[in-house]
Chains A and B, each alone.
Chain A
């Protein structure tokens, strides 16, 4: 039996019996467990690379309800490479203005103006079920174009047996159980990861003793598309902080940080919720707009991670590997960076072009990302819920000073929004041979810029690329069996010059398939380039 744990927003991969269920275990190069945003995006990425991938999810589609809403620019860029960035962008709500309040008092406003020359804005807000639906659609489109992706709904993994060079999965279906062998298993089965438990692995970190009431309300009234955040909200029983944020389809996300000792049933009583929501919505205008409560739920949050993300043939990604509190929108956004990092590595390893050291680098690079995310979201949580009397004294001093003085504003922490992780000083990095702009240093993900009729990032995803600015380099380079695409321009746009040349007249960048920078030089140097590529695929490491 495969019981239903949650209701579906969209049915996308109904259960169908497959022949494999009546046969001895078949071997697959890659099996992904879990079709959430992370697992589904990974399946698309692998399939588009021609790496056969089988995705198993224990439901038949996307779960209903309110989870991630803020998707970052980096996520949009990754999704664009996978063919669904535009869909997420077009359905999403773009917001720029944020207002911060302390009690009744406005503290300050900020404006997240989109950066000139980037295809995508800093953030869009979109309900997670839509995001997952677009990801699944991209998988279907890729399938139709011949990508080797298979999705099996209502297939629940119940057991994992590790062997030296493969793993055996036991899978439960409505027609009974069967087994699958996999060279690599990627566990994307969420924060409660059954895979993690099956392998007896720990998930350590901090539990924040706090409950968050999440209410999505629908209102057609004219209300600004802004992010409003309150420290110590003045609405009765609203807790330590509150957040109001716009989503598509006239939905607003409202968050109340309620504290630890609460009466869940009382808090979930719609009459109770309406009292607070009324107070919040009317706080700036004095009138309560008409609205419906669409979805209500209470969450607690943790900041924790697995000690290692790679366990022999089982690799963990997304919430299964690490979990953060929601401030900064670093959950799904970091999971997307995980699979961006992992897919090309798996492709090379499955093709025999790279060894296990490349998979190990996933652990190093994404551990670095997870630590950064945990640090940032823990700090935000501590700012909102000061741990001691003196922390609160300082916090409130910051909020008071920020009303009058610029300097205190960067200290105000209502969540540090997710930005792409930079893999500084990690083993896959090659040399940085120019004193170029800091944001395009080795390890960084490429910032976008206008390029030809479109954008740079549209031209460099998926493969190793040599970006050549105002100088020459050969086409058709190949090293260690890997083809390097050469992209030359002698007429870089102003943004491309600022971001990639700085004070230099010319530059050569070696860029990974996940658009992270391996190395850069002021001129083309073939020997150095070949060495950098070998470093980037951990070729000579054991």
Chain B
């Protein structure tokens, strides 16, 4: 398995809307905390250390 970097979400615009909607009304620090929790939840779902390492690399500029 390697990290999926091609489009993989159906109804991308709908997902993006929901993602931003989840931040509605949050302060800056609440938003940061929300993002941190979300990353940890998604990382746990992925589980595979190799993939998570690749994801950390992909997010680097």
Contacts and interface: CB of A to CB of B under 8 A. Distances in A.
B12 A411 contact: yes
B23 A390 contact: yes
B26 A407 contact: no
Q: Interface size for chain B: under 10, 10 to 19, 20 to 34, or 35 or more residues? A: 20 to 34
B7 A407 contact: yes
A284 interface: no
Nearest to A397: B59
23 contacts: A376-B13, A379-B13, A383-B16, A387-B20, A388-B20, A389-B28, A389-B31, A390-B23, A390-B26, A390-B28, A390-B31, A391-B20, A394-B16, A394-B19, A394-B20, A401-B59, A407-B5, A407-B6, A409-B7, A410-B9, A411-B12, A411-B16, A416-B13
Interface string A363-390: 0000000000000100100110001111
Contacts of A22: none
B1 interface: no
CB-based closest 5 A-B pairs: A390-B31, A410-B12, A405-B5, A390-B23, A406-B6
Contacts of B20: 382, 387-388, 390-391, 394
Interface string B26-42: 10100100000000000
A413 interface: yes
Contacts of B13: 376, 379, 413, 416
B56 interface: no
Interface of B: 4-9, 12-13, 16-17, 19-20, 23-24, 26, 28, 31, 58-59, 61
A406 B7 contact: yes
Contacts of B12: 410-411
A410 B15 CA distance: 11
B58 A405 contact: yes
For the residues of A in contact with B, the DSSP-based class is: helix
Contact of A400 (B4, B19, B23, B61): B61
Interface in A404-430: 404-407, 409-411, 413, 416
A382 B24 CA distance: 13
A327 to B, nearest CB: 12
B17 A410 contact: no
Nearest to A400: B61
Contacts of A390: 20, 23, 26, 28, 31
Contacts of B6: 406-407
A409 to B, nearest CB: 7
Contacts of B8: 407
Contacts of B23: 388, 390-391
Nearest to B22: A390
A404 to B, nearest CB: 8
A6 B11 CA distance: 42
A407 B4 contact: yes
Contacts of B31: 389-390
Interface string A496-510: 000000000000000
Interface in A503-533: none
Contacts of B19: 394
Contact of A410 (B7, B28, B58): B7
Contacts of B4: 407
A390 B61 CA distance: 19
A405 B61 CA distance: 12
A291 to B, nearest CB: 35
A387 B20 CA distance: 10
Nearest to A393: B31
Residue from the set B6, B13, B24 with the largest chain A CB neighbour count within 10 Å: B13
